[in-house]
């Protein structure tokens, strides 16, 4: 059984007011943005990133596409994989 870990982050209230978001919306946005960046930096897989973001893998791949991030990596990543094969 997987357990979730709660992480507490304090931010100035004026940030939420500027973004016109409540704390739950901001937390969801932070999780999604973190998941995208961690995937982009090859720290998490698609599945792990989707889990962090709280969405399905299919939806996460669509989000990556909207952010112009390939699930296949860059040409140099693929070329490196071919050399290592």
Q: What are the tens digits of pLDDT across the range 8-63?
A: 999 999 999 999 999 999 999 999 999 999 999 999 999 999 999 999 999 999 99
Q: What confidence score (pLDDT) does residue 48 get?
A: 96
Q: If 0-12 CB within 10 Å is exposed, 13-18 middle and 19+ buried, where does residue 20 land?
A: exposed
Q: What confidence score (pLDDT) does residue 83 get?
A: 75
63 contacts 36 by C-beta, under 8 angstroms: yes
pTM (2 d.p.): 0.80
């Amino acid at each position: 059984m997987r357990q979730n870990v709660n992480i507490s982050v304090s931010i100035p209230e004026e940030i939420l007011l500027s973004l016109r978001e409540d704390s739950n919306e901001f937390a969801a946005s932070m999780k999604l943005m973190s998941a995208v960046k961690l995937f982009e930096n090859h720290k998490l897989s698609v599945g792990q990133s989707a889990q962090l973001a709280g969405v399905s893998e299919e939806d996460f791949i669509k989000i990556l596409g909207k952010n112009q991030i390939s699930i296949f990596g860059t040409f140099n990543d693929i070329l490196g994989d071919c050399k290592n094969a």
